[in-house]
């Protein structure tokens, strides 16, 4: 069954706790936390204090997506009892292996993400060390963008390596995911999907999560 991680980037920040309750009622698996610094990506979102406001207000674990430069400097800020994954970008980490070990040494699962123009082959050496690989299906920075179909081929390639080498990372996809393309994405090998505008832009957010969870 698909694991769904709605992105609160598309939620109403004025009613964040209520919005999170809605996705929880619908059966969401994670809260996807999109952190943007205005350097690695051309947009600024929010930081750890906003995420921490949800502590005690939801049972859902956090799936943190750091779209920032120098992530090592900020990793500790995002560690809470409910932080399950912290994902950094391959493109933002000169010493990716060290960053991944740093995350895992804090008792949190480590993820690595690649942008649409970055090939899967750049992850070859780090795959045995990571708990999750996040394939970006839009250029990171904004919610509500159109799905880039080339991501499907990258998911297939990753799924093949995972099977061939008997590795156990989760394959996640992020960007432009809708009820229309979710089946195709899962067929390619995705186990966990992020959805922002497709969830929080719905008239009935709880029902939309239920619809995703039918897949
Ligand atoms: C993009 C973010 C995504 C985004 C997804 O930079 O990493 O998580 O919020 O939003 P949608 O689902 O609207 O593309
Ligand atoms: Zn994201």
In the chain, % of residues over pLDDT 70: 100
What average pLDDT score do residues 31-59 get?
98
Q: Which pLDDT tens digit goes with each residue over 62-79? A: 999 999 999 999 999 999
Q: Which pLDDT tens digit goes with each residue over 122-167? A: 999 999 999 999 999 999 999 999 999 999 999 999 999 999 999 9
The environment of the single-atom ion ligand 2, i.e. residues with CB closer than 5 A, is 34, 65, 174
* Residue of 54, 90, 49 lying closest to 71 (CA atoms): 90
Nearest CA to ligand 1 atom 4: 143
**Which letter, b or e, does each residue of 29-43 get, where b requires 16 or more Cβ atoms within 10 Å of its Cβ?**
bbbbbbbbbeebbee
181 confidence band (pLDDT: 50, 70, 90): very high
Regarding the beta carbon of 26 and ligand 1, being less than 6 Å apart is answered no
Q: How far apart are CA 136 and CA 139, in angstroms?
A: 7
- DSSP per residue over 143-167, as a string? SSPPP-THHHHHHHHHHHHHHHTT-
Please give the model's pTM, rounded to 2 decimal places: 0.98
Q: How far apart are CA 149 and CA 130, in angstroms?
A: 25
């Amino acid at each position: 069954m698909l694991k769904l991680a709605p992105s609160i980037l598309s939620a109403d920040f004025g009613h964040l706790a209520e919005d999170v309750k809605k996705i929880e009622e619908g059966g969401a698996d994670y809260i996807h936390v999109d952190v943007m610094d205005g350097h690695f990506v051309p947009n600024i979102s929010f930081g750890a204090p906003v995420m921490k406001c949800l502590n005690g207000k939801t049972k859902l674990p956090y799936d943190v997506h750091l779209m920032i430069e120098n992530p090592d400097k900020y990793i500790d800020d995002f560690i809470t009892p409910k932080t399950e994954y912290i994902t950094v970008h391959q493109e933002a980490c000169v010493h990716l292996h060290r960053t991944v070990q740093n995350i895992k040494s804090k008792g949190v699962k480590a993820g690595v993400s690649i942008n649409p123009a970055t090939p899967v082959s750049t992850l070859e050496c780090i795959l045995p060390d990571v708990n999750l690989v996040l394939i970006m299906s839009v250029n990171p920075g904004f919610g509500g963008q159109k799905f880039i179909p080339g991501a499907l081929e990258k998911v297939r390639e990753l799924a093949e390596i995972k099977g061939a080498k008997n590795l156990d990372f989760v394959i996640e996809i992020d960007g432009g995911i809708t009820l229309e393309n979710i089946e195709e994405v899962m067929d390619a090998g995705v186990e966990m999907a992020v959805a922002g505008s497709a969830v929080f832009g719905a008239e009935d957010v709880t029902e939309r999560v239920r619809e995703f969870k039918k897949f």
